[in-house]
Structure 1
């Protein structure tokens, strides 16, 4: 399959890209600052250029979307707007603009996160964004068939515990290898409208 991986230079994107490449797929990498094609998916004008360069694909994998972490009283409108634009609007627009370019039985796999189902301190913006993406995935699956769409919703990465572990006290971390396999399950499997939790 020809698979476009957005956010391919990040931890989850890199692990997924490497796994799918080892499995014989042709990978096109996309990132804001690196990759085969440079594109910020939160910028609509860049998305139209992206698809004209990539062309037809069998699957789209998104591991992109930054969100701010801060105490609730310090999160302002710009923080929520940034979380929505980067993680929600960007991924929704990736799907919306990509529908004509993805194979009839191809797939989209987006990224959310554990905060959608298990809140943390300083994680209100992340919870908002992750919950919105998961709701979109369930709704979109009803309408885009036979194309498929799922989300991967990991806990904190084992490999990121030194940087983010304090935000997730008592949470079971997940290895990046398991996150990559969750993306593989979505891309190579048959499920749709699901939130896949790597463990």
Structure 2
């Protein structure tokens, strides 16, 4: 890069939700694509339920209900990926997801922690199990989700544009916090 020039970093507001599944998925009687199986119940069902209300974009918690509906209607992204635990190290080495949220259960918690603790990057990790330094799914609510989103923005705070955006969103939060919550549920 030439001296005096500034490096521009592409910024995306979409959150990548990475659900880490056990290595032994091949040994089960059914795959999780065949509908309800013992694979999903109960831990992965909890994660999927949480993904219905957890933001999929870092702007979601700061939008009014009307703006949120418009954002989803006009193409708000959804990025949920399932990955076997033995492939997590490779995934984190190859892909540079800017807003990565890693989800685990009791079956994958230790392996996920071992892998992410070996990286310099700080990853956000939510699990169905309680562990030091990991957000427990049982504690997850609207306020904690918003706090995690603000931490995601803080990671990018080295860019002036992102710092300005974070300040604007924090001031907007007061006006939006009184808005009606909308929760989507399946049939």
TM-score bracket for the superposition, by shorter chain length? under 0.3
Q: State the TM-score, normalizing by the size of structure 1.
A: 0.26
> Which structure has the highest strand share of the two?
1
Larger radius of gyration: 2
